Amino acid sequence: MPRRIGKNFNNVIMIKISEMPMKDEKRGMNSQIDENALRYWNGKITRRQAISTTAKVAIAIGVGAAIAAAGIGAGVYYASRAPPTKPEEKKLAIYHWWTAGGEREAIDAVYKLFKEKYPGVEIIDNPAAGGGGAVMRAAVKAMLLAGQPPDTFQITYGPGMVQSWAEFLESIDDLWEGLPVPETMKKWAKVGGHYYVMPLNIHRDSNLWYNIKLVNEIGIDVPISTVDDFFKACEKAKSAGYIPFAFGTVGGQRFWLNYILEWFMMASPNGGPDYVNDFNYGRAHPATDPAVKDALKNMETLWKNYVNSDFGALTWDEAGKLLMADKAVFNYMGDWQKGHFTASGWKPDVDFGWQPAPGTEGASIVHGDSFGVCKGAPHPTYAKAWVKLLSTVEAQEAFCVIKGATPPRTDVPLDRFDPMQRRIAEYIRGHKIVVGGHGVVEAWLDKCGEILEEFVSSFNVDKTVAALDAAYREIYPKPLE
Amino acid sequence: MTKYVNLQTFLFILPAIVLVGTFVYAFSIWNVFISLTDWRGLVTRIRFVGLENYLKLVSDPVAQKALINTFLLALTFIPLTMLIGLVVAILLDLELKGTSIFRTIFLLPLSFSFVVSATMWTWMFSPEQGTINSLLRLLHLNFLCQPWITSTEQSLWCILLVYVWQFSGYVTIIYYSGIRSIPKEHIEAAEIDGASTFDKYRYVVIPQLKGETVGVLTILLFYALRVFDLVYLLTGGGPALSSEVLATYMYRITFNQNLFAYGASIGTLIFVIALAIMVPFLILSRRR
């Protein structure tokens, strides 16, 4: 149809052209303007009308452009202007990734405390599930770069993570005065001599979980103190027909492999807790440090012989379920695995047992969760009030009891915690603390996991050491503070 | 009325021009610009580094692996899906018994979102507890059990299977409607000349589906090059990068490793590959 209309239209114009004097033949014939000229020439419209139609088109385009420009301009102005002079609204915008069972209730308990202390303040809750916080971090990055910061958001507590966000946070030195938090952990909140975040809870990463029923049935003595003994126990479990070691790295969870690397580096006679700490601070030399090679060799032994074959199809909690189904004996995971077990109805010290990972006696690899006050926060008063609340005994106790974590303050009473959580908390308080797991630089989390995932299928130690070294030097051009 | 046509047309397409101009063209150019800098996520100081990211891309073994996987997937996914789609469309056209039930079953995957089908297939592929292996064990066919997505050799082909499963229904619809719009006379003429059913499709029907083939090919190619959702959810590019494609690598580089500029250069690479294949293809198909 449209084609036919076009032809007719041209025919009309052709006729009109034939009526036109010769001197105007060179004129174009398709545009609006020329058609008006034609009509004027033929006496169909007046000169004024012809011009006005042409002008209308021009004006419409101009007005359209002006509206668009005004809209964009207003948007840019609105986005870039200083915080409004009108009185601060009674609101608090929080971003976090606590959505799972146990986590949700834990953060709600802190919200309840906040509402008791600051009645009438509306909490704008923005939970973003997924990817161990990667989803929330992507969202917050976009907001910060667009100059629209939230009031406060969850930051993994460890020097790598804190230092990558500090640029966007207000210093909160006054809130840290006299806080009874272990010295090692205090440093993690500090960048350039100032404190930027407040930890709410910490987790112990270096734990070995075991199925008590199977351990008794097979005849394994726990606790196991060395890696060699651990492999012997695995061998026993294997010949009894069980999966010795349950693990899961599906999808984006390849970073759990970093945890295993940290475990074996800590257990290596060439490594130890200080080495793992240095490693995660960017002060190591993977190419020449023997601890890295030792750790990879142990990973090779573990993966070639004792890990469930479908580790690439399971998440960390699905791996835990293999223990619950009496199919697997051991699992290495942070103490949120305990929360997962108990939430699923498995009883601590009855159904499952805990011990520090073999060979890591005397130190804990930990990381935590913290919050800071954003620079340019729309509600700075309440953002600071929130962070202040998190530093209190009551908030840390309320949160950690429910989530199954350890309070960063050493003066939080532990009597409300279950006996196993209390032992874990006391272990952290009484021993050396090493930064690990997720507290490292974000890029390392992904890159190291990628390299190790390759390793557990190729088992090429030299190639892996070279790859780790290259990535390490790129991601840590200089050590963290 | 004619004097208002241009003005009206212009006003009606103005919102589309503004939106597409901003979010497609402007950001594509912005993306190229970013790829020439050293922007690392949160670091706000940005330096112009020229082609450094592209030089890095050429020597990056992970990027090479992702590129090969993307091509492998596209080169198997497109012909396989088109073949299955065409065969099913012809079967539907033959109006055998139970066609309507079969049609519903076959078109169902099309209505699933990628997230739903990826989650479902992850459960089915799980080697220990998954449906497929459990079923095989139940039938005492243990020797057929496979590690599926947990094996470096099979993960990419598992993704291919899900992709073909999800898209063949779509291709079927297009071909089926194409076959149905062929004038009856052509087929009747062939029948009078004594053509068998095979000959009828081979010489009369299929040659008239050129338009549909071009359309389907264009769309499948587009999906194959930007494949992300299914890979990300099924395997995350693993195990050991065996199913990493350019789009999942770009996502990881940008949002997990914070290398925004390097991620942008991967984005530009995908864009250039798409252009390099599509433009000559579209020009050729127009000429014909």
Beta bridge partners of A263: none
Domain membership of residue A396 (yes or no) is: yes
- Interface check B128 vs A, CB under 8 A: yes
A280 in the same domain as A133: no
Whether residues A456 and B235 touch (CB distance < 8 A) is answered with no
According to DSSP, residue B23 is labeled I
What mean pLDDT value characterizes chain A? 84
Question: Which among A468, A462, A421, A415 is positioned nearest to A444, based on CA atoms?
Answer: A468
Supply the CATH classification number for the domain B36-287.
1.10.3720.10
A130 in the same domain as A29: no
Whether residues B3 and A32 touch (CB distance < 8 A) is answered with yes
Summarised one tens digit per residue, pLDDT across range B155-203 is: 899 999 999 999 998 999 899 999 988 888 888 888 888 888 888 888 8
Of A32, A60, A313, nearest to B125 by CB-CB distance is A313
Give the residue numbers spanning the domain of A264: 207-366+437-475
Low-confidence ranges of chain A (pLDDT < 50): 1-33, 57, 84
- Residues whose CB falls within 8 Å of the CB of residue A45, separated by 6 or more in sequence, listed in order: A36, A39, A53
A218 in the same domain as A288: yes
Of B11, B235, B258, nearest to A442 by CB-CB distance is B258
Question: Which among A281, A400, A379, A381 is positioned nearest to A335, based on CA atoms?
Answer: A400
Interface of B with A in 29-88 (CB under 8 A): 41-42, 44, 62
> A374 to chain B, minimum CA–CA distance in Å?
14
The stretch B138-154 carries a mean pLDDT of: 85
Whether residues A167 and B42 touch (CB distance < 8 A) is answered with yes
Q: What are phi and psi of A62, to 5 degrees?
A: -60, -45
A245 in the same domain as A360: yes
Q: Which of the residues B6, B12, B150 would you substitute to probe the A interface, choosing the one with the greatest number of A C-beta atoms within 10 Å?
A: B150
Contact predicate A91/A382, CB 8 Å: yes
> A102 to chain B, minimum CA–CA distance in Å?
24
Residue B288 pLDDT level (bands cut at 50, 70, 90): low
Taken as a whole, chain A contains a residue count of 481
Q: Which helix (H) or strand (E) holds A194?
A: strand A194-195
Question: 3-state class of A203 per DSSP?
Answer: strand
> A156 to chain B, minimum CA–CA distance in Å?
14
**Other CB atoms within 10 A of residue A307 CB:** 22
Whether residues A309 and B259 touch (CB distance < 8 A) is answered with no
A374 in the same domain as A361: no
Domain membership of residue A358 (yes or no) is: yes
Beta bridge partners of A353: A210
> A411 to chain B, minimum CA–CA distance in Å?
36
- pLDDT, residue A214, reads 96
> B70 to chain A, minimum CA–CA distance in Å?
18
Q: Which of the residues B4, B126, B128, B230 would you substitute to probe the A interface, choosing the one with the greatest number of A C-beta atoms within 10 Å?
A: B128
Beta bridge partners of A91: A122
Domain membership of residue A166 (yes or no) is: yes
Q: Indicate the number of domains in chain A.
A: 3
- pLDDT, residue A53, reads 53
- pLDDT, residue A16, reads 41
Of B11, B42, B252, nearest to A141 by CB-CB distance is B42
A238 in the same domain as A289: yes
- pLDDT, residue A24, reads 41
- Interface check B145 vs A, CB under 8 A: no
Amino acid letter, A450 = E
Domain membership of residue A429 (yes or no) is: no
- pLDDT, residue A15, reads 38
What mean pLDDT value characterizes chain B? 87
CB contacts < 8 A, A to B, total 109
Q: Measure the CA–CA gap between B232 and B253, rounded to whole angstroms.
A: 13
> B202 to chain A, minimum CA–CA distance in Å?
33
Whether residues B125 and A249 touch (CB distance < 8 A) is answered with no
The alpha-helical segments, DSSP class H, found in A242-284 are: 256-267, 273-281
A393 in the same domain as A349: no
Summarised one tens digit per residue, pLDDT across range A23-74 is: 444 444 344 445 555 566 566 666 566 555 555 545 555 555 555 555 555 5
Contacts of B44 in chain A (CB under 8 A): 145, 167
Domain membership of residue A112 (yes or no) is: yes
A220 in the same domain as A249: yes
> B1 to chain A, minimum CA–CA distance in Å?
12
> B96 to chain A, minimum CA–CA distance in Å?
38
A197 in the same domain as A241: no
The stretch B221-247 carries a mean pLDDT of: 87
Interface of A with B in 226-255 (CB under 8 A): 249-254
Could you tell me the CATH number of the domain that includes residue A170? 3.40.190.10
- Residues A408, A409, A410, A413, Cα dihedral to 10°: -110
A355 in the same domain as A376: no
In whole angstroms, how far apart are CA B239 and each of A22, A61, A243, A304, B181? 77, 55, 20, 15, 46
Q: Which residue has the higher pLDDT, A43 or B274?
A: B274
- Interface check A8 vs B, CB under 8 A: no
Question: Which among A69, A128, A53 is positioned nearest to A93, based on CA atoms?
Answer: A128
A159 in the same domain as A117: yes
A281 in the same domain as A147: no
- Interface check B119 vs A, CB under 8 A: no
Contact predicate B103/B93, CB 8 Å: no
The alpha-helical segments, DSSP class H, found in A118-176 are: 134-145, 159-165, 173-176
Q: Measure the CA–CA gap between A352 and A329, rounded to whole angstroms.
A: 10
Q: Indicate whether B58 pLDDT > 70.
A: yes
Domain membership of residue A151 (yes or no) is: yes
Domain membership of residue A414 (yes or no) is: no
Q: Which of the residues A310, A438, A442, A451 would you substitute to probe the B interface, choosing the one with the greatest number of B C-beta atoms within 10 Å?
A: A310
Q: Measure the CA–CA gap between A140 and A128, rounded to whole angstroms.
A: 10
Last residue of a domain, one of A80, A109, A136: A80
- pLDDT, residue A18, reads 40
Of B14, B149, B232, nearest to A313 by CB-CB distance is B149
Of B7, B151, B152, nearest to A60 by CB-CB distance is B7
Amino acid letter, B185 = E
Q: Indicate whether B134 pLDDT > 80.
A: yes
- pLDDT, residue A27, reads 41
Burial class (CB in 10 A: 0-12, 13-18, 19+), A142: exposed
What ipTM, to 2 d.p.?
Answer: 0.74
- pLDDT, residue A39, reads 64
The residues spanned by each domain of chain B are 36-287
Summarised one tens digit per residue, pLDDT across range B6-55 is: 888 888 889 999 999 998 899 999 999 999 998 887 766 788 888 999 99
- pLDDT, residue A81, reads 53
